[in-house]
Amino acid sequence: MVCTNKSVLEWVEEMAALTKPDRIVWIDGSKAEKDRLEAEAVSTGEMVRLDEKKLPGCLYHRTALNDVARVEHRTFICTSKKEDAGHTNNWMAPADAYAKLRPLFDGSMKGRTMYVIPYLMGPAGSPVSKVGVEVTDSIYVVLNMRIMTRMGDIALKQLGDSNDWVRGLHGKAQVDEENRYIMHFPEDNAIWSVNSGYGGNVLLGKKCFSLRIASNLAHKEGWLAEHMLILGIEAPDGSVQYVTGAFPSACGKTNLAMLIPPASAKGYKVYTVGDDIAWMRIGEDGRLWAINPEAGFFGVAPGTSMKSNPNALLTTKANTIFTNVVLTEDGDVWWEGMGTPPPAKGTDWKGNPWTPGSPEKGANPNSRFTAPAAQCPCISPKWEAPEGVPISAILFGGRRAKTAPLVYQSFDWNHGVFVGATMASETTAAAAGNVGVVRRDPMAMLPFCGYNMGDYFAHWVAMGQRIKNPPKIFNVNWFRTDENGKFVWPGFGDNFRVLEWVLDRCNGKVDAVSTPIGYMPKPEDIDLTGLDGFTRKDLEGILTIDRDVWADEIKGIEEHFAKFDRLPAEMREQLAALKQRFA
């Protein structure tokens, strides 16, 4: 399909005049095009074809050593007024940001091909889906975008003559980390990303569009763009209810999205709608409806095993791109925590010979698989429903050793917004810096909210006033520890036991205990059937609230709120009410 959209054609011409590629290739999304691009990437060594028997249709890639993760310190929100970006974002004036990046892009695609990728975030034909166009000089980006979005003609068709699309310019340039910038221009619906070739920095449909730009659009248009998984729970009678959940990194979000219920939950099934991002709008029935704007999973490889997340591992068995993991001599991949013996010999993520005796890890801790969502064994039959799925409950969660109990329910919507706004995780040994430091990450959106976070909380409060049948809001914490620092709750599939209580609350099937922090389960209302080695007493232990710990928590929340220039009155009121309930 030839692009006839005038605004797209003019913009591509402008980007080409700046970056000066030798060739421009319009991406149509066809299988023939995929085959051609893969063959080219393999012939130049940019990607390696994996063993067709073990991993049919799969490719392997290594990034530059200096380019293995998102770069938050180089990610900017470029609004005319600094206050509109807020204290949680890096800010640059749009004119200054364009002036800084134009020289970096100028001629950066000489001798290279510019690929023009029209793409769709959300199911084809859905009124809530949105279109982006990314130009890039990276085949790796094109092939990843092919998995993560609906790309090519399908997007041009949905766009028609409209000027309502997000402009994304990406160039690898010299992959120079000193000049790496990920700039967002919400006032222009534009993203410019330079000097990276990896993940969230360059797959512009993901965090840049679907969260940072989309959160701005959602604020203006009256919906929610959230860093949330979406899952469906089917009961033995065949009815399905849907839950979204926001968790900071390292809290097992993808594992929860693909959870397998314990054997005791006979007749129940969990379906995945999305593992990372939810766009939610108010439906005509007054409920909140969610779509997953993505078409694939960009999951962390290390730790993904048949034990931790069989559904994720099985999703990657074909048509997947593996980045920065160990490449074996027989065209297979391996990573730490895969649950299978390491290969006797391989090549590590840095491209060096690697054996199990090597002093360094074989896979980068942030190594990834890019896999089509449609291949997930537990993908929801509704995952591409144009209208989305109706949400019964929203979960917020973090890693807290002592503060938060296993689960509690907010008293009402505004209290739920407060629970999300004060969400935090304690740093683990894996994170840089000190262990046990509390990091506030409101609604897990700290790196992804594309505007002032005070306004974002106010937007949540305003949404609550418009939703006639709002989802109930809960906080969960799988990470309470005992006196020896060991996790008490078994987690993984057993988290289903908590989801069951959550849905029972939504369905008015079970009472709760009113506490200063919210409604908590009576221990007998969490089903522990078949849970070996975990007693009712253990459960009671992780359903306690320590007043001294919460006194510190309240101080922490006060410090957190003091940093906001536009904190809504409702959040101050919630804090005052929390203090009052503890008094």
Catalytic residue numbers read 251
- State the alpha helices, DSSP H only, in 264-387: 310-315
Asked if 200 interacts with ligand O2Y (CB under 6 A), we say yes
Asked if 348 interacts with Mn ion (CB under 5 A), we say no
Phi, psi of 156 (to 5 degrees): -60, -35
200 binding partner (options Mn ion, ligand O2Y, none; Cβ < 5 to 8 Å by kind): ligand O2Y
Asked if 134 interacts with Mn ion (CB under 5 A), we say no
Secondary structure class of 206 (helix, strand, coil): helix
Residues 63-82 touching ligand O2Y, rule: CB under 6 A, are: 69-70
Report the C-alpha dihedral over residues 13, 134, 325, 448, rounded to 10 degrees. 140
Residues 247-266 touching ligand O2Y, rule: CB under 6 A, are: 249
- Strands 229-234, 438-440: pairing kind: unpaired
Q: What residue is closest to Mn ion based on CB?
A: 276
Pick the binder of ligand O2Y from 193, 304, 347, 366 (CB under 6 A): 366
Please choose, out of 193-201, 218-226, 282-290, 488-496, the segment that lies near ligand O2Y by the rule CB under 6 A: 193-201
Closer CB to ligand O2Y, 70 or 459, in the complex: 70
Contacts of 405 (CB under 8 A, 6+ apart): 477, 480, 517, 520, 542, 543, 544, 545
Contacts of 240 (CB under 8 A, 6+ apart): 232, 233, 234, 271, 382
Give, for 506, the enclosing helix (H) or strand (E).
helix 496-506
Asked if 137 interacts with Mn ion (CB under 5 A), we say no
**Site residue total, ligand O2Y (CB under 6 A):** 9
Closer CB to Mn ion, 109 or 444, in the complex: 444
Q: What residue is closest to ligand O2Y based on CB?
A: 199
- Sketch the per residue contact string, 280 through 319, with ligand O2Y: x for CB under 6 A, - otherwise: ------------------x---------------------
Secondary structure class of 194 (helix, strand, coil): strand
Rg (CA), the chain: 24
- State the alpha helices, DSSP H only, in 127-198: 139-148, 153-159
The encoded tokens of residue 28 equal 């149509």
Please choose, out of 11-19, 195-203, 260-268, 539-547, the segment that lies near ligand O2Y by the rule CB under 6 A: 195-203
- Sketch the per residue contact string, 260 through 279, with Mn ion: x for CB under 5 A, - otherwise: ----------------x---
362 binding partner (options Mn ion, ligand O2Y, none; Cβ < 5 to 8 Å by kind): none
End-to-end CA separation in angstroms for the chain: 67
Pick the binder of ligand O2Y from 94, 132, 199, 493 (CB under 6 A): 199
Q: Is 348 in contact with 358 (CB distance < 8 Å)?
A: yes
Number of other residues whose CB lies within 10 A of the CB of residue 426: 19
Q: Could you tell me which of 378, 221, 211 has the C-alpha nearest to residue 278?
A: 211
Residues that bind ligand O2Y (CB under 6 A): 69-70, 198-200, 249, 276, 298, 366
Residues that bind Mn ion (CB under 5 A): 276
